[in-house]
Amino acid sequence: MTTAEYNECVDRHADGVYRFVLKNMRDEDKARDIVQDSFEKMWLKVDEIDGNKARSYLFTTAYHTMIDAIRRARFSVEMDERVHREHAYRDDYSGLKEILDEAVARLPDIQRSVVLLRDYEGYSYQEIGEITGLNESQVKVYIYRARTALKNYIGSLDAVI
């Protein structure tokens, strides 16, 4: 990969990688750090990377960097227990996007990652498998489980809208 191809990759994919990491981390500063680390790792191996596979390499690197950050955070800070609400509908309705974001946030890390890669970023099952290190059938199972959990959490679309 040339320097020009690297710069083009930064211009084309920085926003997408940031959105993906931000949806998972829910912390803008941490998301920026992870994206920066991912581009740095890519720069260090710029001579070894094929320009045609730069996007996949970048998302894979960002995914693994994000997982490492999540693991480090779990060891350093004890996680708060999440309070599950009994019903998806609330009187203080704040919008479908907020409810969907909250539902996605409640998914286990791997399910959240694969469903975001598939439904938000548009990756194929095979590409998601390459990024996450899962085989294609595992990716499909995790996406199915995530979508089922989202459906159960949100409930009927009529109740939300």
| Residue 5 banded pLDDT, cuts 50, 70, 90 | confident
Domains of the chain with CATH codes = 1-80 (1.10.1740.10), 86-161 (1.10.10.10)
As a whole-number percent, the residues of the chain with pLDDT over 90 amount to: 5
| Residue 84 banded pLDDT, cuts 50, 70, 90 | very low
In angstroms, how far is the first alpha carbon of the chain from the final one? 48
pLDDT, mean of residues 27-44: 89
16: number of Cβ within 10 Å: 17
Question: Does the pLDDT value for residue 35 go beyond 50?
Answer: yes
Residues recorded for the chain: 161
pLDDT, mean of residues 112-130: 87
The pLDDT of residue 27 is: 84
Q: 25 in helix, strand or coil?
A: helix
55, 68 Cβ separation under 8 angstroms: no
The pLDDT of residue 119 is: 84
Any alpha helices (H) in the chain, and if so which ranges?
3-25, 28-44, 54-76, 96-105, 109-115, 125-132, 136-154, 157-160
| Residue 93 banded pLDDT, cuts 50, 70, 90 | low
Between 65 and 87, the more confident residue is 65
Question: Does the pLDDT value for residue 136 go beyond 60?
Answer: yes
Reported as a single tens digit per residue, the pLDDT across 69-82 is: 887 777 655 444 44
